[in-house]
Chain A
């Protein structure tokens, strides 16, 4: 008995070990695999359909709630960000606070890696407006840091996009807060 059990254990063990780097088919019972595949295909199709519906809703929302002639979108990006650890952003439009945003570590990481956050999407009349963004966080040497960036802009009948950029100034070893109009 022991020899048989030992061989059995070894073979089972090795077969299972091999599966570490093998495709699932190597260990999947065929019948179960077929059933799962069929369901899996349906789930895949449904996911695609839900994403397409979400895309269409996104577009419809933009057109209905934020038409181009009044649309204002504000984005946040970060380039390097060694001199500033972002905690939060407050956005004011014509002296009215329109958003206060507190960042998670995951979001900060995404910004560090080149992601751009859509901070605000709203409506504005055509004409002159003032945008003020206040960034709070930790600056050089870990000190509390609070800086603002202001933009006077003209809202035309075209959709307006504004990017708030946090960049490192190597010359001053300080963060810089720039505003770019797209």
Chain B
């Protein structure tokens, strides 16, 4: 039973009950739209099938989508904000922001979503995207019940929107017109939806409800039964049909068409959550025809069900009423007493549940362990510590305000986990930073850096000297400047011999032969040097270029070392870590306080609900006891037929 309620909750969440309705299905579609596949064939009921992938042009945006498609909104939102901070999504910047607005809404941050959409309207260059932003703003206003603002916001959509959104926009418009009482305009608006649109069933249901509540029973029935003609699939479709049959049955009942009411009540599936109400209505329709024996059949079947259901509670009173009408007052008395017992037991259990709820830690209500609270957060309560009391809360769980409160607690618990992980990450970073700083201190102190810088400067001086030599060689065309080591030795020998010959000549010696030999030898050396000059000059130049490259790389390494070193010793990282630690501590305190407040609120909501149910049972109990007294007053109990 509790699972059925949860399932209904999920069905409602997927449609337009609360802000969370803009969740996975619609945003999956939004995601596909944002990466470019504006396929006209897309329909809302195709939301869950993977769209044709389009290649993203910014890796960061692809990573956002990766998290988004897994409904990991926290990670996707973080990545999106990192991208915005780094400005590394030049191609998808606006799409990312639009997606962030959608995800913020999905993640229960409607205020942030509204701020993003409002900002985007001024900066989005494409009308179709501005229209999407207007659409979501409209939807937020509508879901907040601000119909007047929703109406005016809707007018900004120039359209057409992508197909699925367009259909929802039409549905919203028709609903707004319905709410303002303009049924004719609403009908004209909804007429533009294709017969296959999933929104039609919701529109006709709302229309039927409005008509029936205003006493237009037949029109209401027509609207409810129109749903039967629509193409509806899956459990959600079946559930909608059951609701429509039940509503049509009650409308017929009020309109005095009892047989038609029965026909519709009988169409409700036996395993439907609606079956209790349908059986109750079936009984009343039969009773209104005066066929109390027939009325007893569904009511007796209903009485076998749990007394926590309001329909069952009412059915317990209806059975003896029918027996009274059949003039079986003894049986009626017996059934009233049975009802009294059932009501009293129910009240005792409710009292017990109220006591339990006063002290129950509610964290387990939303999670069976501290692990993931993903998409199925509300199903996490399979191991509810309140299993026995859970059926009493079915009605409460189906209420939007309760869902919002539980979702809030669930989100807070998730935040607590994130903050705990952030604490670990900060501690790890602090550890790494300490190690890095120690290594730097041990391996690269100030004097070492200066030594490296000095070595580099010396090398620069050598390079400059070599370049000067090259320039001089080109200027004086001295072949000896590019001589190799062996040749330099020979040149030194020639110079030495020349000097010796000069001395001998000064002493009067005849050195003409030696001078001639030396001249020839010098000429030979010049000739050899000239032959090699061009090749050696090129080689020399090449080596200088290579040297320059090496020195350039050395300079970069040196600069990087100095920058890194500077950062380490400036302690910027340490300061940033400390700052984040302070923020983290504050947020951890906030989340703890909010969890306590949220738990208290949920507990109070549950207790109020249980108390309300107890009051209702108390009312039925009073009615049953009065009936018993009335029967006793009418005659001797033993003599009752």
In the bound complex, CA of A124 to CA of B594 (Å):
44
Given A13-B247, A47-B411, A157-B560, residue A182 in contact with residue B254 (CB < 8 A): no
In the bound complex, CA of A115 to CA of B280 (Å):
51
- List the 4 closest A-B pairs by CB distance, nearest first: A116-B62, A115-B66, A24-B400, A110-B69
Chain B interface mostly: helix
Chain B residues with Cβ under 8 A from A161's Cβ?
59
A-B contact pairs, 15 of them (CB 8 A): A6-B284, A23-B143, A24-B18, A24-B400, A39-B598, A40-B404, A44-B111, A45-B111, A50-B415, A51-B74, A52-B81, A53-B580, A60-B576, A61-B425, A182-B59
B126-134, B207-215, B337-345, B462-470 - the one binding chain A: B207-215
Q: Which partner residue on chain B sits nearest A56 by CB separation?
A: B580
Q: A152 → chain B, closest Cβ, in Å?
A: 21
Given A14-B247, A113-B50, A115-B68, residue A53 in contact with residue B287 (CB < 8 A): no
Chain A residues with Cβ under 8 A from B107's Cβ?
47
Our pick among A21, A39, A59 for the contact of B594 (Cβ within 8 Å) is: A39
Contact with B along A88-111 (1 / 0, CB 8 A): 000000000000000000110111
Contact with B along A127-157 (1 / 0, CB 8 A): 0000000000000000000000000000001
Our pick among A1, A17, A60, A182 for the contact of B205 (Cβ within 8 Å) is: A17
In the bound complex, CA of A124 to CA of B435 (Å):
19
B153-161, B328-336, B584-592 - the one binding chain A: B584-592
Q: Which partner residue on chain B sits nearest A112 by CB separation?
A: B50
B66 touches A111 (CB 8 A): yes
Chain B residues with Cβ under 8 A from A1's Cβ?
321, 623
Chain B residues with Cβ under 8 A from A58's Cβ?
78-79, 82
In the bound complex, CA of A182 to CA of B412 (Å):
38
Contact with B along A59-76 (1 / 0, CB 8 A): 111011101010000010
Contact with A along B180-220 (1 / 0, CB 8 A): 00000000000000000000001101100110110000000
A69 touches B429 (CB 8 A): no
Given A13-B247, A116-B66, residue A50 in contact with residue B401 (CB < 8 A): no
B82 touches A24 (CB 8 A): no
Q: Is B373 an interface residue (CB 8 A)?
A: no
B202 touches A20 (CB 8 A): yes
Our pick among B110, B210, B587 for the contact of A53 (Cβ within 8 Å) is: B587
A115 touches B69 (CB 8 A): yes
Chain A residues with Cβ under 8 A from B598's Cβ?
39, 43
Given A5-B314, A39-B597, residue A15 in contact with residue B213 (CB < 8 A): yes
Chain A residues with Cβ under 8 A from B28's Cβ?
113
A47 touches B415 (CB 8 A): yes
Q: Is B109 an interface residue (CB 8 A)?
A: yes
A28 touches B277 (CB 8 A): no
Chain A interface mostly: helix
Q: Is B422 an interface residue (CB 8 A)?
A: yes
Q: Is B447 an interface residue (CB 8 A)?
A: no
A115 touches B205 (CB 8 A): no
Contact with A along B536-578 (1 / 0, CB 8 A): 0000000000000000000010001000100000000100110
Q: A175 → chain B, closest Cβ, in Å?
A: 14
Q: Is B432 an interface residue (CB 8 A)?
A: yes
Q: A169 → chain B, closest Cβ, in Å?
A: 15
Chain B residues with Cβ under 8 A from A69's Cβ?
560
Q: B82 → chain A, closest Cβ, in Å?
A: 5
Chain B residues with Cβ under 8 A from A112's Cβ?
50, 53
A110 touches B65 (CB 8 A): yes
Given A14-B209, A27-B399, A46-B587, residue A21 in contact with residue B202 (CB < 8 A): yes
In the bound complex, CA of A18 to CA of B281 (Å):
18
Q: B546 → chain A, closest Cβ, in Å?
A: 18
Q: Is B23 an interface residue (CB 8 A)?
A: no
Contact with B along A29-59 (1 / 0, CB 8 A): 1001101100111111111111111111111
Contact with A along B127-169 (1 / 0, CB 8 A): 0000000000000001111000000000000000000000000
B31 touches A75 (CB 8 A): no
Q: Is B85 an interface residue (CB 8 A)?
A: yes
Given A114-B54, A161-B59, residue A14 in contact with residue B212 (CB < 8 A): yes
Q: Is B253 an interface residue (CB 8 A)?
A: yes
